[in-house]
Chains A and B, each alone.
Chain A
Amino acid sequence: DIVLTQSPALAVSLGQRATISCRASQSVSISRYNLMHWYQQKPGQQPKLLIYRASNLASGIPARFSGSGSGTDFTLTINPVQADDIATYYCQQSRESPPTFGGGTKLELK
């Protein structure tokens, strides 16, 4: 299985930039498709899709969220961070079955 590694937590100040990283144990890219996706989960809620295929913003997601990366290294950026963005963020790969998730990065206020 492809293992996705995320830092457990990240502390940021409101209005600043947050950069959340996800590293895969092997490439999750196929030709021009980077098969890494990002989700936001707030306490007591289901996950919500933010970014698909590394850099595509899901429907209804604010433009302060963006994604980048290819191969094994991917980044979710939130700029500027707002209070409503305090949550846990998960990456997920669909390059190989089974689909796997990172352990999640909890975004906290500094």
Chain B
Amino acid sequence: EVQLVESGGGLVQPGSSLKLSCVASGFTFSSYNMHWIRQAPKKGLEWIALSYYDSSNKYYADSVKGRFTISRDNSKNTLYLEMNSLRSEDTAMYYCAKGGMGTRDWFAYWGQGTLVTVSS
């Protein structure tokens, strides 16, 4: 059974940093692209970052480019999102999602999410 478990969220002040983790199980993590997707309170879904299966390519939404960094450790089956210079508009539930083995992914499995609140 595929499982994705996020952690690391919390309440932080504007301008601060936070690092999220997503531990994967039930599939060969090192073979799949992985994504971060967020959802602001009462809002829709926003894709924010992609890491290829081998970390060879990483892509970001314009809204987080230069502030957020996606990474992965295939030996630990873990995906990360390092978030710097956080803003109030980054307040959201952050989900990791399993992609495919190529480009043009859909998101077959999602974690339960970790909540990030940016407020003074």
Interface residues of chain A, those whose CB is within 8 Å of chain B, are 30, 33, 35, 37, 39, 45-49, 52-53, 58, 90, 92, 94-95, 97-104
Contact = CB atoms under 8 A, between A and B. Distances in A.
Contact residues of B: prevailing secondary structure: loop
A94 B105 contact: yes
Given A97-B59, A98-B61, A49 B47 contact: no
Contact residues of A: prevailing secondary structure: loop
B7 to A, nearest CB: 14
A34 to B, nearest CB: 11
A35 B104 contact: yes
Contacts of B62: 98
A95 B103 CA distance: 9
Given A37-B107, A90-B44, A101-B44, 19 more contacts: A33-B104, A35-B104, A39-B45, A39-B107, A45-B112, A46-B113, A47-B95, A47-B110, A48-B110, A49-B107, A90-B45, A92-B45, A92-B106, A92-B107, A98-B47, A98-B62, A99-B47, A100-B47, A101-B47
B40 to A, nearest CB: 12
A101 B45 contact: yes
Contacts of A30: 104
Contacts of B112: 45-46
5 contacts: A39-B45, A52-B106, A94-B105, A101-B44, A104-B45
Interface residues of B, number: 20
Contact of B44 (A33, A37, A102): A102
A46 B45 contact: no
A97 B109 CA distance: 19
A90 B37 CA distance: 13
Nearest to B112: A46
A99 B105 CA distance: 8
B53 to A, nearest CB: 16
Contacts of B61: 98
Given A46-B113, A100-B47, A95 B106 contact: no
A101 B46 CA distance: 7
